[in-house]
Amino acid sequence: MPNYRRNRLPGGTYFFTVNLLDRKSHLLIKHINMLREGVRITKRKHPFHIDAWVVLPDHLHCIWTLPAGDDDYSGRWRAIKKHFSKAIPVGEYRSKTRIKRNERGVWQRRFWEHTIKDDKDYAAHMDYIHYNPVKHGWVETVKEWPYSTFHSLVEKGVYPIDWAVSSVDCINAGERD
């Protein structure tokens, strides 16, 4: 098994991008409850804190903070992906390699991880996550997208409900690609 170069900081805070194999698919929002269930089950067995999350039709971004002494985000992603893949109907294309390995053709095998360095880095990634549906053209304003932590963060006073509706906010958030 390959040993990918991953930064592992026990108890660290991480930004993730996780993609479906078929980038034209809408499986994540079509089966959002199955994804949520996989996250709940995984969190119960292997706790972590969700700082921010956005689910788009074909990919998702999130920030997690792991418990002190724990750096196993890969195991958590494996569990979430596995649960989701088992919960949705079969029907996707599978390569010969995936068939041979008895794998579904739902997720890209890898994910992108970035260790959050400081408060400025954290704020930039929080903004990027919540602005992403606007960036990809799914909605015109952040508050319109239902599959993110934006509204709960508005309730907590982290963001105003009209965040990123001014051209300056949109330009700044859009630059963090």
Residue positions annotated with a catalytic role? 147
Nearest to 131 by CA among 97, 169, 94, 161: 169
Which one-letter DSSP state was computed for residue 177? Answer: -
Cα separation, 43 vs 46, in Å, equals 5
Q: Answer yes or no: are the C-beta atoms of 154 and 142 closer than 8 Å.
A: no
- By the 10 Å C-beta count (0-12 exposed, 13-18 middle, 19+ buried), 69 is classed as exposed
Give whole-number Cα distances, 114 to 7, 74, 128, 165, in Å: 8, 13, 13, 27
Element (H, E) at 99: helix 96-100
- By the 10 Å C-beta count (0-12 exposed, 13-18 middle, 19+ buried), 56 is classed as buried
